[in-house]
Amino acid sequence: MTGLLVLALYLGVFFGAKVILSRLFSGAFAPRGFNKIKTVTFGDESAVNGNRMASVISVLTIFWIWVAFTNSVIPLPKMPGPFAGETSFTYTATQEDGTTDDATVSILVYREDIQLTVDEAGVAGKQPEVPEVDAGDGFAKNDTLTAARYGFEVINVWKNDEVSKKEGSRITAINGQTIEPGGSVKTSAGRIGLTDKGTPTFAPSPGLRMPRLYLPAPEIVMDRFLRLNAEGYQGFTLWEHTWTSLRRVLIGFVLGALIGIPIGYAMGLTNWSRGWFDPIVEFMRPVPPLALIPLMIIWFGIGEQSKVILLFLAALWIMIIAARSGVSGVAITKVHAAYSLGASKWQILRKVIVPNSLPEIFTGARVAMGVCWGTVVAAELVAAEVGLGKMIVAASRFQLTDIVIIGIILIGIIGFLIDVGVRALETWLVPWKGKV
């Protein structure tokens, strides 16, 4: 339900922002530069360049939806919130002989995350006391209780009544509305129902916002991030978690490249190596590295060795294949030209084949780094002592969703930075790529 609403909202902003902004800033939507003189732009991919405003609004929209569907303090339009505060309902109890009596149930609904909050003095929040109420008259007595937001309470209204359920007292109406076991009554504060056995229940209205357990508000995540930064998590600082994951990837990838690239060259250059490694590479290539995690744990345990070997294997096949196709991508005229200029085999390898295969190797490196980064997180999710994946999975066991979200954001940012880094290295080392 909420999912559909999010989708509708998202699509609404997508189309709405386009319509409104293209009216307001028609200049920014007009084709620019060379595209101005093109009459055909639809289908001409080179005429498409991402609209900056769209990117900015896209990010802002995600942020806004995050705020709108959580109990955030950020002053942005939000979905209707969950009920909190005082409410009450009356129930009518009927005895077997037909005598009835009304009594009130007062409920104090408190923040479900009250214990996670801290007031200005630095004191952690406490669950509120059950308020005192006057018992009232008649055989049914007034009740009082506290309930957490998003919660669900089964209320034993008879515990202070003069006639108990066993003695034949039944609830026949809520707020004056007749009710059968299994039925319910909606109020602005939530829903009062009867179980199949006739016991009243109360579920405070959840509104459309996510409880903190599912989706913490941005400021809570930010606050957690600052605290993680200062205090770390489970004995390791945030930096240690991050760097450990990254270090595993780097070591695994470098080993995979150091061994894979020469094997790939050998496969591209000699029959024996091609024949020797082809079956292994063709067999191992389609095996997802994640499938190797259990075996790595059985063989090497859950420590560094197991992770690094896993990542080495993840990078190895990709780098072998990249180097091999790098060799096959060398134009034969270049090799012929080099031989005619008196180059030896070794010189051809160093001066022609290696540089000529660099673009392919970099493409492979980008893929391998991406795969390794994904694999390390997964491996840490399964078993590790430190690392971003380990941080996430440990936090999820304690239902610390904010840490889980921080972990995911960090994983995304670092994965992105890795790719940017490899690409920058590529433009620096292979300036001729795509220009030949």
Partner 1 sequence: MSELLINDISMRFDLPNGTSIQALKNVSLDIKTGELLSVLGPSGCGKTTLLNIVAGFLAPSEGSIVLNDKVVLGPGAERGMVFQQGALFEWMSVRENVSFGPDMKGISRKESSENVEHLLDVVGLQDFKEKAVYELSGGMQQRVALARCLANDPDVILMDEPLGALDALTREKMQSLVLDLWKETGKTIILITHSVEEALLLGERLLVMAPRPGRVHKEYRLPFADLGVGNDLREVKKHPDYSNTREEILEMIWNMEEEIMGRTDESA
Residues that bind partner 1 (CB under 8 A): 331, 333-334, 336-344, 347, 351-352, 355-356, 358, 430-432, 435-436
Q: How far is the CB of 356 from partner 1 (least distance, A)?
A: 7
For partner 1, the closer CB: 280 or 331: 331
Kindly state the smallest distance separating residue 429's Cβ from partner 1, in Å: 9
As beta bridge partners, residue 84 has: none
Residues 6+ positions from 187 with CB-CB distance below 8 Å: 87, 89, 175
Q: Which is nearer to partner 1, 173 or 335 (CB)?
A: 335
Q: Which is nearer to partner 1, 46 or 340 (CB)?
A: 340
> CA angle, 364 as apex, 363 and 365 as ends, to 5°?
90
Cα–Cα distances (Å) from 354 to 155, 258, 319, 428, in that order, read 77, 14, 14, 16
Phi, psi of 329 (to 5 degrees): -80, -5
User: To the nearest whole angstrom, how small is the minimum distance from the Cβ of residue 214 to partner 1?
Assistant: 54
Compute the least distance from the CB of residue 31 to partner 1, in Å. Answer: 29
Look up residue 173 and give its amino acid: A
CA distance 264 to 281: 10
Q: Is 232 exposed, middle or buried (0-12, 13-18, 19+ CB in 10 A)?
A: middle
For residue 344, the minimal CB distance to partner 1 (Å) is 7
Which of 159, 156, 189, 170 is closest to 80 using CA atoms?
A: 189
Q: Under DSSP, is residue 369 helix (H, G, I), strand (E, B) or coil?
A: helix
- Output 311 or 352, the one with its CB closest to partner 1: 352
Q: How far is the CB of 431 from partner 1 (least distance, A)?
A: 7
Token pair of 271, please?
């029959």
Shortest gap between Cβ of 45 and partner 1 (angstroms)? Answer: 23
Tokens at residue 32, please? 């620019």
25 vs 432 by CB, closer to partner 1: 432
Q: Which is nearer to partner 1, 356 or 375 (CB)?
A: 356
SS3 content of the chain, % helix, strand, coil (to 5): 55, 15, 30
C-beta closer to partner 1: residue 73 or 429 = 429
